[in-house]
């Protein structure tokens, strides 16, 4: 509380200057002394779903052949898009996950793909993953360096009661033999996830927290048994559903410590994919802020009931039911997506899985051409620039200027993400280091040793003298031709397109003198890398 009051005093001591109606100066203070959170080095994650080509919403069928069952793994752009992350975490899962059979030798049922069926869960029959396809997928993952999280069928053996709850113990035989086959082939699975959207009220199906916890204890024993001779044992991830306080608390209480390593929850905070208000919600900071309550409550729940576990967003596509056509795959979606990455990081979310890598309207890649959509480049820039350490940021700006800071990835200094949701306002940003600001009573002033540099935009601590100018890197993202629903993202004035030799383009910065003001034009996004910013919290 004392820190917040001091930071407030600090901010109001700097004048907010209106140079003209649509140019506003804002002050941002990066609290550099300590990190307030930490994300996993493989924070960026994307999903591959199970939906077949005839999965349709709103008179459209946006999935094509992008299922784990039939995705074209030989397409060169698919491999290159994944390899660019070095590595990318991929989660295989989705609504039909709990209807997947594994075509191991012991399977007694026929191994057929999903088929349309009116009385089936989500309108489909059970589907079977052939081991020949599983071999192909793992060869692909090995080639691309992907880190794999695989979602297991958690409804096997259960029956649905008249209240809509699926009862009975989980039948683990098919999953046991599948995991055993995976180990025998030497396939590296980073984590096994149990179930998809069965928590709380569920989506299509639900299981009680008591039963779910009991089954997780059983699955943990299976993993321990099958991997007892392995050098690397996968972690156990659950429940892969929407957060409900009482259900999640109960699950952690039932399982106890050393069972579930990671708690995953899903987010679709923009509404239905056909909602005409999608764009206005994306650009509304007050709507974006609503989901913070979920992050805060989950973080507190885990401190009380499961301090041994970490939190992931296991699936998030913004708009549900396959995403918004001509919204989720366009530039405007990056305002929501990057804001989500920044917000999730603030609340100690270790991994954030985007729905999807490919498939639906929200794919990072186009489902037919495999060409990256704008959010792909947003994800790649985040992955390349934003390090594990999360820093607190104070701002006196309008809520339409969103600001997030991390330690820079793989080097000294910090990286600042600035998101301008305004369509006619340019923000001129004055960035300060909290180490150079002192509170004396009700007065905020710069430390005396830096009074000579009071006009400098960035105040540095421990900066060695330099004969030449110092620079920062800027990555300015704008929509092609100013059209928010463009499928082409522009970086520093250059459209991001596949190169002539068929490669993902390099994401090059422009160099700017570090003591100049940071400008963020209307409806744009900017990553700013300050290599000389003194941040003890990043040491």
| 497 in active site | no
If you search the block for the tokens 């396939």, which residue do you land on?
Answer: 187
**Cα dihedral value 497, 52, 335, 193, nearest 10:** -110
Q: Return phi, psi of residue 450, to 5°.
A: -120, 10
Tokens (6 digits) for 77: 């752009």
**Cβ contacts of residue 276 below 8 Å, gap of 6+?**
none
> Tokens 């005396």 map to which residue?
448
Kindly name the residue from 193, 197, 244, 474 that is annotated as catalytic: 197
Given this model, what pLDDT does residue 467 score?
53
- What pLDDT, in 10s, does the model give residues 254-302? 999 999 999 999 999 999 999 999 999 999 999 999 999 999 999 999 9
| Helix ranges, 166-258 (H) | 173-184, 209-226, 245-255
The separation between the first and the last C-alpha atoms of the chain, rounded to the nearest angstrom, is 26
Question: By C-alpha distance, which of 369, 291, 388 is closest to 337?
Answer: 291
Q: Measure the CA–CA gap between 357 and 323, rounded to whole angstroms.
A: 13
Helices 173-184 and 131-144 meet at what angle, rounded to 10?
A: 50
Residues whose CB falls within 8 Å of the CB of residue 427, separated by 6 or more in sequence, listed in order:
24, 25, 26, 397, 398, 401, 418, 420, 519, 520
| Rounded-to-10 torsion of CA 70, 73, 75, 79 | 140
For residues 307 and 302, what is the distance between their CA atoms, to the nearest angstrom?
5
* 193 is annotated as an active-site residue: no
H helical segments located in 197-321: 209-226, 245-255, 278-282, 285-290, 292-305
The confidence score (pLDDT) of residue 515 equals 87
The whole-angstrom distance between residue 280's C-alpha and the CA centroid of its chain comes to: 21
Residue partners of 462: CB distance under 8 A and separation at least 6:
534
HSE-up (13 A, CA, CB side) for residue 20: 4
CA distance 160 to 168: 9
CA distance 508 to 525: 15
Residue 457 and residue 504: Cα distance in Å, rounded?
Answer: 35
| CA–CA dist 45, 53 (Å, integer) | 23
Provide the pLDDT for residue 8.
44
DSSP for 345-385, please give it.
Answer: HHTTEEEEEES-SBSSTT-SB-TTT-PBPHHHHHHHHHHHH
Place of tokens 């989901």: 291
Instruction: Give the burial class of 442: count Cβ atoms within 10 A of its Cβ; 0-12 exposed, 13-18 middle, 19 or more buried.
Output: exposed
User: Which residue out of 315, 473, 474, 514 is catalytically annotated?
Assistant: 315
Give yes or no for a contact between 31 and 76, defined as CB atoms under 8 angstroms apart: no
pLDDT attached to residue 164: 87
CA–CA distance, 43 with 49 (Å, rounded to integer): 19
Q: What is the 3-state secondary structure (H, E, C) of 75-132?
A: CHHHHHHHHCCCCCEEEECCHHHHHEEEECCCCCCCCCCCCECCCCHHHECCEEEEHH
Task: Give pLDDT tens digits along the chain (539 positions).
Answer: 444 435 544 454 444 444 445 999 999 999 999 999 999 999 999 999 999 999 999 999 999 999 999 999 999 999 999 999 999 999 999 999 999 999 999 999 999 999 999 999 999 999 999 999 999 999 999 999 999 999 999 999 999 998 889 999 999 999 999 999 999 999 999 999 999 999 999 999 999 999 999 999 999 999 999 999 998 999 999 999 999 999 999 999 999 999 999 999 999 999 999 999 999 999 999 999 999 999 999 999 999 999 999 999 999 999 999 999 999 999 999 999 999 999 999 999 999 999 999 999 999 999 999 999 999 999 999 999 999 999 999 999 999 999 999 999 999 999 999 999 999 999 999 999 999 885 444 334 554 333 333 333 344 433 444 456 799 999 999 999 999 999 999 999 999 999 999 999 999 999 999 989 999 999 999 999 999 999 999 98
For the chain, helix, strand, coil in percent to 5 are 25, 30, 45
The pLDDT tens digits for 451-509 are 333 333 344 433 444 456 799 999 999 999 999 999 999 999 999 999 999 999 999 99
């Amino acid at each position: 509380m004392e820190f917040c009051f001091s930071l407030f005093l600090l901010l109001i001591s700097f004048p907010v200057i209106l140079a003209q109606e649509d140019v506003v100066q804002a002050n941002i203070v990066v609290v550099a002394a300590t990190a307030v959170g930490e994300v996993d080095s493989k924070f960026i994650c994307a999903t591959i779903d199970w939906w077949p080509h005839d999965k349709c919403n709103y008179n459209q069928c946006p999935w094509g052949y992008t299922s784990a069952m039939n995705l074209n793994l030989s397409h060169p752009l698919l491999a290159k898009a994944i390899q660019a992350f070095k590595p990318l975490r991929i989660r295989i899962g989705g609504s039909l996950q709990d209807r997947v059979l594994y075509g191991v030798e012991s399977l007694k049922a026929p191994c057929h793909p999903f088929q349309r069926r009116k009385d089936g869960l989500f309108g489909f029959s059970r589907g079977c993953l052939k081991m020949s396809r599983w071999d192909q997928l793992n060869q692909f993952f090995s080639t691309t360096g992907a880190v794999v999280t695989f979602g297991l069928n958690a409804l096997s053996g259960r029956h649905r009661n008249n209240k809509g709850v699926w009862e009975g113990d989980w039948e683990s035989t098919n999953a046991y033999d599948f995991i055993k086959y995976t180990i025998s082939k030497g396939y590296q699975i980073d984590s096994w996830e149990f179930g998809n959207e069965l928590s709380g009220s569920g989506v299509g199906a639900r299981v009680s927290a008591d039963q779910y916890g009991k089954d997780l204890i059983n699955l943990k024993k299976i993993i321990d048994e099958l991997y007892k001779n392995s050098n690397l044992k996968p972690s156990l991830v659950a429940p892969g559903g929407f957060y409900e306080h009482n259900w999640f608390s109960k699950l952690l209480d039932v399982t106890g410590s050393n069972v579930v390593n990671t708690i995953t929850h899903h987010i679709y905070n923009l509404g239905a994919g056909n909602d005409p208000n999608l764009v206005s919600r994306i650009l509304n900071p007050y709507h974006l802020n609503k989901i913070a309550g979920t992050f805060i409550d989950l973080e507190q729940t885990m401190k009380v009931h499961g301090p041994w576990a970490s939190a992931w967003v296991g699936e998030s596509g913004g708009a549900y039911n396959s995403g918004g056509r001509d919204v989720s795959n366009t530039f405007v979606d990056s305002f929501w997506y990057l804001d989500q990455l920044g917000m999730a990081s603030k609340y100690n979310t270790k991994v954030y899985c985007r729905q999807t890598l490919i498939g639906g309207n929200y794919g990072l890649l186009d489902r037919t051409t495999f060409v990256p959509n704008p959010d792909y480049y947003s994800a790649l820039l985040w992955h390349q620039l934003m390090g594990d350490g999360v820093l607190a940021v104070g701002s006196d700006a309008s809520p339409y200027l969103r600001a997030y800071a991390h330690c820079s990835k793989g080097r000294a200094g910090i990286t600042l993400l600035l998101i301008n949701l305004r369509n006619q306002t340019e923000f001129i940003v004055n960035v300060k280091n909290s180490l150079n600001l002192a509170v004396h009573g009700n007065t905020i002033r710069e430390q005396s040793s830096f009074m000579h540099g009071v006009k400098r935009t960035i105040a540095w601590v421990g900066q060695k003298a330099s004969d030449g100018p110092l620079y920062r890197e800027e990555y300015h993202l704008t929509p092609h031709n100013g059209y928010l629903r463009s499928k082409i993202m522009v970086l520093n004035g250059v459209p991001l397109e596949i190169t002539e030799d068929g490669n993902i383009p390099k994401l090059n910065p422009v160099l700017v003198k570090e003591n100049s003001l940071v400008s963020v034009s209307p409806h744009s996004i900017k990553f700013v890398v300050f290599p000389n910013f003194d941040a003890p919290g990043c040491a």
